[in-house]
């Protein structure tokens, strides 16, 4: 766009252009500040004890996000209960965790949402030196129920309480980590180990391969599921651990919550979509208790499903993230998000800009018309020759200003009309002087 050459008009154009640029920059800054469009380069995920399957999974998530330039920090905790508490803490940097069902509710965790369920986390009851056919046999035993802050500890207390094992008088309840439980059970220092973990857990696999311990079946699995709908009944087939040794010798009934990928509501949508893509890559393969493609699943056990997760399960990743590198897709998407409010503001400005421009240009001419009107009104009160001479000089100066007035071609007729009217007033003034 070429700027006008004349001084006043050039200055006006520069002021208007500066105002438009300043307004656009301020609107863009405000949009960036309010929308927080750029996803963080670093996010933190709470994980359980480092010897659990949860920690192994988190490392796979970290590898996936690293491919897209996101640094996933892993923060170990005693277990899912502690991870949940840190996730809910507004002062914490934790924004992601894998949480089994049954340890929170939507009312208790309003700031959290789920990205779907990932896998089953069965409750494993493993004993040494005996088979437990009735819950009365648990009385007086040394039972490890997992460290405080873990889902194993919370679920074990709840389920043991149903069968009358609720305090240290009925049994010796120990808060040991899975690794400690396994070692003490193998060496006979405890009688029973109870923990919640996936089939792939290294600690569980070590125990199942040991001939000195027994995996217990829960004959009242249906009752537990009926009382706690977040639980599911599973069957571990006979011989699945070792076909040659027939371990386990019979089918084993288990109860299991489903683990969910839980995030804070304010976690950037692009990161949520990236986590969902990672979940598909990591959890969609078949396993002992699920078929291929069963997980991740759009299920909301304790927490509502994130709107972005709901959209992901319907249509997959956003169009731009499917066809462009992650950060470039984010840049394009956020640019579009910023353009929409800017266009909403700029469109009416651009629409009315010609009208405002016309008014400004006409106003320059009309100001001279107003001055001409004042001279014409004063003409009839001027009788002295000196006053008439002054009036004619002022008209000459006004005509000179009109002649130097630079306006676009569409407004030239207004200037010509002004000069014509100035000449008419001059002739009328000359007639009045000659009378």
How far apart (Å, rounded) are the C-alpha atoms in residues 390 and 386? 6
Residue 1: its pLDDT value, please? Answer: 45
For the stretch 120-157, pLDDT in tens is 999 999 999 766 667 777 888 999 999 999 999 999 88
Backbone angles phi, psi at 324, to 5 degrees: -130, 155
Residue 2: its pLDDT value, please? Answer: 44
Please, which residues have CB within 8 angstroms of residue 311's CB and are 6 or more apart in sequence? Answer: none
pLDDT-derived band at 232, boundaries 50, 70, 90? very high
Question: 3-class SS at 59?
Answer: helix
| Best CA proximity match to 262, nearest among 305, 308, 226 | 305
How far apart (Å, rounded) are the C-alpha atoms in residues 332 and 325? 11
How far apart (Å, rounded) are the C-alpha atoms in residues 345 and 321? 28
Measured in whole angstroms, how far is the alpha carbon of residue 298 from the centre of its chain? Answer: 17
Across 98-112, average pLDDT? 94
Q: Are 125 and 132 in contact (CB under 8 A)?
A: yes
Global pTM reads: 0.71
Name the helix (H) or strand (E) containing 70.
Answer: none
Q: Are 191 and 127 in contact (CB under 8 A)?
A: yes
Tokens of 160: 């043991």
For the stretch 59-70, pLDDT in tens is 999 999 999 899
């Amino acid at each position: 766009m070429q700027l006008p050459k004349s001084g006043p008009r050039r200055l006006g154009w520069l002021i208007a252009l500066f105002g438009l640029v300043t307004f656009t920059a301020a609107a863009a800054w405000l949009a960036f500040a309010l929308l927080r469009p750029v996803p963080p380069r670093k996010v933190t995920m709470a994980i359980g004890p480092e010897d659990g399957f949860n920690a192994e999974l988190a490392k796979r998530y970290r590898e996936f996000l690293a491919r897209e330039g996101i640094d996933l920090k892993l923060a170990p905790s005693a277990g899912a209960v502690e991870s949940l508490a840190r996730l809910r803490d507004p002062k914490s940097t934790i924004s992601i965790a894998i949480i089994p069902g049954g340890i929170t509710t939507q009312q208790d965790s309003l700031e959290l949402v789920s990205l779907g369920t990932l896998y089953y986390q069965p409750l494993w009851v493993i004993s040494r030196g005996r088979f437990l056919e009735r819950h009365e046999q648990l009385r007086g035993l040394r039972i490890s129920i997992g460290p405080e802050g873990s889902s194993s500890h919370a679920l074990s207390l709840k389920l043991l309480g149903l069968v009358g094992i609720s305090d240290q008088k009925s049994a010796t309840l120990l808060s040991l980590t899975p690794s400690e439980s396994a070692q003490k059970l193998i060496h006979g220092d405890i009688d029973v180990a109870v923990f919640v973990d996936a089939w792939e857990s290294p600690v569980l696999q070590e125990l199942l391969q040991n001939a000195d311990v027994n995996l217990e079946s829960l004959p009242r699995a249906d009752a537990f599921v009926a009382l706690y709908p977040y639980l599911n009944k599973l069957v571990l087939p006979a011989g699945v651990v070792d076909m040659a040794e027939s371990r386990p010798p019979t089918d084993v009934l288990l109860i299991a919550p489903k683990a969910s990928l839980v995030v804070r509501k304010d976690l950037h949508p692009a990161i949520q979509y990236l986590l969902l893509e990672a979940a598909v890559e990591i959890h969609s393969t078949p396993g002992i208790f699920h078929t291929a493609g069963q997980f991740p699943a759009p299920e909301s056990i304790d927490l509502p499903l994130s709107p972005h997760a709901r959209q992901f399960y319907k249509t997959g990743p956003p169009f731009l993230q499917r066809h462009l590198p992650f950060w470039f897709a984010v840049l394009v998407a956020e640019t579009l998000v910023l353009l929409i409010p800017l266009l909403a503001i700029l469109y009416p400005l651009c629409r009315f800009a010609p009208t405002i421009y016309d008014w400004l240009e006409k106003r320059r001419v009309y100001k001279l018309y107003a001055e001409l009107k004042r001279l014409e009104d004063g003409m009839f009160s001027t009788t002295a020759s000196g006053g008439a001479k002054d009036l004619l000089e002022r008209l000459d100066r006004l005509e000179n200003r009109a002649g130097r007035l630079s306006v676009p071609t569409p407004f030239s007729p207004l200037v010509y009309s002004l000069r014509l009217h100035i000449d008419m007033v001059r002739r009328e003034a000359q007639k009045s002087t000659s009378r």
